[in-house]
Every structure is written in C-alpha cells, then in structure tokens.
Amino acid sequence: MGRNNRKRRTPLATKAIAASAALALGGGGLIWANFYASAHESNSGQNQTKAAAASVATIACPDVQQKLTNVPAKAQQGVATELANLDKQITEAYARLASTRQAQANDANFVQNAIVGPLKEKRAATLDRIRIDIQRVGGQVDASGLSALAACTTQTSNQTTAGGQNNNGGQNNNGGQQNNGGQQQGNGQASAAPSASASAPANVGGQAGNGPVAADFVDITKVQPNVAAKPQKTGNASTGTFTTKCGVNANKNHNTDNVIVAPGVTNGAHHLHDYVGNQKVDAFATNDSLIADQTSCQNQSDLSAYYWPVVRIQDGTQDFDQNAAGGGTEGNVGKILTPVQAQIKYVGSPTSKVTAMPNFLRIITGDAKTTTNGLANANAHWSCTGFENKVQLTTQYPICPQGSNVVRTFAFQSCWDGQNIDSANHRTHVAFADAQGNCQNGFKAIPQLTMRLVYKITPPVLQNGQVKNAYAVDGFPEQLHKPATDHDDFIAVFKNNLANTIANCINTGKRCQ
C-alpha cells in the first residue's frame, strides 16, 4: 500500500502557514517571504539554513497526555480525540507565531495577547471536556490539576534542546540499548557544537523556517566516545536473538496518522511515518483489522506494525506531500529518504529469561515533544557507520565522514507490567530495565525490540553559523526538527504462535529469523 489516500480536512494550521510563507517549488520550499533575509533562495542551487532575528522560537505547552495515567476504558476514545485537539491547537498557534514576526517586532505584547492568551482559553475548554469525559463514566480526575495545564509559554533559542546539553538519556534507561549510558554525550558534544549568533535564535531555520539549524549538527569525528559497557550477563541471561526481515518501506507506505496516540483522528501525528510490517495501519486500524491484514515481513506470521517518522534531506527539493497536512504545510519539507537498511531484531535480558509479548501490545519509545518537554523521555540515538560502538548522539545530528552512513537506532522498553497492552499515557505499562539490566516494581522481562535504520546522506556542511544541505526527522511543527524528538512506534501482532517462538528462541540462546 502506498500513501494513505483518505481525504482529510485541511486544518487551520495549514492555511495559516500557507498564508505566511511562499512555496518555492524545487527551490527553497516554504520560506518566510517577508521577514527574513533568506540564505536559501530558489536560485541558489542548494539550501542553506540561516537563523532569523526573532526573540521567540516556539511555543511550549504542558504535555497533557503524559499526566493522564488512569483513564477509564469507556472514556479513552473521547479523551484521545480531545488530546488530538490540543495538538492541533498548538500547531495552529505555532503557525500564527511564525507568520506574525513583523507584528511581534512592533509590539512586545503581541505574542501574549494574540497567540498565547487565546491558546490558553482554547486549551482550558478542551481540558474541561476531558474532565467531563472521564467523570461521566465514573472516573476520577483532579480538576484543578488538569485546568492548571492550560497555560502555555514561549521559548527562546537558548531554552530548547539544541546541541551542547548533557544528554543523559532520560527515563533512567541507561541508554535504552543496554549499554549503561549510551546517551551520556555531554562531553565532547558541547565543545564540538557550533555556536549560534547571539542576535538570532538557534531554532528558526530550515527550508520551512522551523529548523534544523547549525547547532543541531556535529562532526562525529570530533565527539569524544560516550558509549559505556553493557550490563554484566548473569547465568540466567537470555542470550538468543530473533531477526524479522520486513524491508525498508521501498513501496512508500506512508501516512500522517498515529493509531496509538490518536485513534480515529486523521493527521493525528502532524508528521509523516514510514511503515513496515503490517501494511494497513492508519488512524482507523483496530486489533481485528491488524490481525487480518498483510505484512511486508518475510515471516508472514509477523503482522506487527513498525513505524517511525521519516527523515528528509533539505537540499531545496520537495516531495509528494509538499502541499499536504503533516507535510510541507506543517513545516515538514524536503525529499523523503528511504533507509538503505532496516534491521529489526528482538534480543533478551542480561539477567533473566523473557516472557512472550502479548498480542496487540503497544510501545512508543522516545518523545516527539522533547523541545518543549525536555529530555526526560528522550530515547533518540544517532550515529554513523563505523562509530556506533563509540558515539551515540541524542541532541545533535551527526555529520558523518566520507564513506560513512547515518544510523538511527532504537531500543524499546523491555519490561512489561504483565497485564496491560497499553496505558493512558502509553508509557506506564512498560519500562526500561535498570542499570544492571533488571526489571523493577514487579515488571517482567519481555523480548526487547531493537531497530537500526541506515541512511545514505551527503554530509551537511557547516559554514559561518549556517548548515548547507541539512537533513532532519519529521515532527510536530513547533518541535523545530530537533534530533532529540526522534521516536519509534510498535504494535505487536503475531500469528501461528510466533510470540512464543521468539521468546523460546531468545531463552535458549539461538539465533533465529
């Protein structure tokens, strides 16, 4: 299946961004036509990202979904719809922020009065509907605590997670790859990061005006090694592996939905995903439809959904969605890159045997909103071939040496509560193992899903605080295409006892596929 052709209504954000920017086909993409001295005009031949002189970079709102840890089953669909409305409101507000730079320069109170204040009112009404949805079915909710999440703030460039910050990996996940610190990259990364202009925010740039920027990139050869040793294996370790071959999405199966976080909502992700494995995953997929669908995996018993935000090269080119919601009209521009390799492997625990995954288990790893949430749930790993065992980056994209390819690596949560296939915030039913590789709080070890995506990318060039031919991961427009926002999604869908086969293979130390 190719792109999702279901007709979608054009969101207000689409109209706002389209009204505020010029669409230069085959050239600079969406550029701020009136207010910025552009370093990437359509006749320049190559895109150059340049920071713009404005004090406010983006809008930061509390992530309501992360606060909702107990939503009754009968209220979940209504709450999910309202959470998607909150995302849409932020997108629209960001579009207005981006299209009113001149007004902001003329009036110091413009952002608060015309953007942040009205956004708070909209969010307050939506949060009240969430409260009603929960209480209507007998659920409990802290009304005052919920209403306190209505207010948003603005962030300047030095408040976001651009390069040079201590990437401790968040989630106490020890790197997320059982490497006990695979994300500890404050050393070296800060010294290697180019400094942004003091007069320009480091978060406004890119073909669409919302990143990436020079500070988001680092020459990987100048970063000190930061990958620590893996946890020590015990005698009870599960040492086998199971590899499933599902392709690289060469058939271009894309859409901008996210059935886990926004079921029933078209364009719920506001960015484009690659899909491998299950071939009919969209906002309206159900457990019944998933188990009945086709798969791109060689093992036809693996109908699991594996999906992640696409990576684009911002060299002035465009793709099929340049005028579409979730694509160019929401700041996700450039040519979509297909991985040259996509490895999906299940591995074991260094301290115990694993329990088979339950069917329809849902796991999201990483956080698509780290620019405004901070790095607590970040689990992005960027590196280059030949450097993966030495350097893993979270808050910067690597510039790889000639002959080396860009690598995105994901290692999902490997501890499960033993009861739930999902949770209200899509996090609390699974967890990462501790520094020794043990599951805590009564959780049990399951096969750890790991993914490795390799991209052939011409190295970006940093020059005078600018980046030429940048690449970036798709994301929510207000997240500014930061590397730390990288994330990955998974729904376990197995037939013919495959879940037990995977667990048995890992527990007996075999290498299976």
Q: Sign of the C-alpha dihedral, residues 398, 404, 406, 409?
A: negative
Please, what is the average pLDDT of the chain? 84
Domain membership flag for residue 205 = no
Angle at 381 between CA 377 and CA 387, to 5 degrees: 155
Task: Return the structure tokens found at 126.
Answer: 């939506």
The confidence score (pLDDT) of residue 465 equals: 85
Number of CB atoms found within 10 A of residue 112's CB: 14
Q: Is the pLDDT of residue 28 over 80?
A: no
Question: How does pLDDT run across 455-471, given as a tens digit for each residue?
Answer: 999 999 998 888 999 99
* Cα–Cα dist 481/23, whole Å: 19
Q: In this structure, is residue 501 part of a structural domain?
A: yes
Comparison of pLDDT for 160 and 30, the residue scoring more: 160
Question: Looking at 27-41, 75-89, 297-311, 335-349, which range is the least confident one?
Answer: 27-41
pLDDT at 161: 55
Question: What's the order of all strands across the beta sheet hosting 444-445?
Answer: 430-431, 415-416, 444-445
pLDDT in tens, 109-136: 999 999 999 999 999 999 999 999 999 9
| Band of residue 26 on the pLDDT scale cut at 50, 70, 90 | very low
pLDDT beyond 50 at 199: no
Asked if 423 contacts 242 with a C-beta cutoff of 8 angstroms, the reply is no
Element counts in the chain: helices (H) and strands (E): 11, 26
Write out pLDDT tens, residues 307-350: 999 999 999 999 999 999 999 999 999 999 999 999 999 999 99
Element holding 86 (H helix, E strand)? helix 76-99
| 159-172 core/surface letters (b: 16 or more CB in 10 A; e: else) | bbbbbbbebbbbbe
Q: Which of 384, 405, 385 is closest to 396 using CA atoms? A: 384
Please give the pLDDT value at position 409: 98
The better pLDDT of the pair 510, 186 is held by 510
The answer to whether 325 and 256 have CB atoms below 8 angstroms apart is yes
Predicted local confidence at residue 55, as pLDDT: 67
Query: In the chain, what percentage of residues exceed pLDDT 90?
Result: 77
Which residue would you say has higher pLDDT here, 159 or 50? 159
The answer to whether the beta carbons of residues 292 and 285 sit under 8 Å apart is no
pLDDT of 243 over the 90 cut = yes
- The better pLDDT of the pair 486, 202 is held by 486
pLDDT band at residue 206 using 50, 70 and 90 as cut-offs:
confident
SS3 88: helix
Distances (CA, A) of 333 to 91, 222, 288, 450: 16, 29, 34, 28
Judged by DSSP in three states, 460 sits in coil
Q: How many CB atoms lie within 10 A of CB 311?
A: 23
Read off the pLDDT of each residue in 493-499 and give the average, rounded to a whole number.
98
pLDDT-based confidence at 194, cuts 50/70/90? Answer: very low
Could you report the per-residue pLDDT of 245-256, keeping only the tens digit for each? 999 999 999 999
Residue 306 has pLDDT above 60, yes or no: yes
Query: Is residue 488 assigned to a domain?
Result: yes
Q: Which of 51-65, 82-96, 196-210, 280-294 has the lowest mean pLDDT?
A: 196-210
Give pLDDT, residue 22.
28
What pLDDT shows up at residue 205? 76
Instruction: Give CA torsion, residues 61, 62, 64, 69, to 10 deg.
Output: 160
| Local confidence band at 12 (pLDDT 50, 70, 90 cut-offs) | very low
Query: Do the domain assignments include residue 51?
Result: yes
pLDDT score for 56: 84
**The pLDDT of residue 475 is above 70:** yes
In a domain, 167, yes or no: yes
Which of 305, 255, 300, 234 is CA-nearest to residue 276? 305
Q: How confident is the model at residue 10 (pLDDT cuts 50, 70, 90)?
A: very low
Q: 20 in a domain, yes or no?
A: yes
Which token pair is 309? 């935000």
Say whether pLDDT at 187 is over 60. Answer: no
Mean pLDDT of 86-98: 96
Q: How far apart are CA 176 and CA 181, in angstroms?
A: 8
Conformation bin of residue 139: beta by default, left when phi > 0, alpha when psi is -120 to 50 = beta
| Domain ranges, residue 354 | 12-55+156-196+214-512
Structural domain count of the chain: 1
Does the residue 180 lie in any domain?
Answer: yes
In the chain, % of residues over pLDDT 70:
81
Indicate if the pLDDT at residue 172 is higher than 50.
no
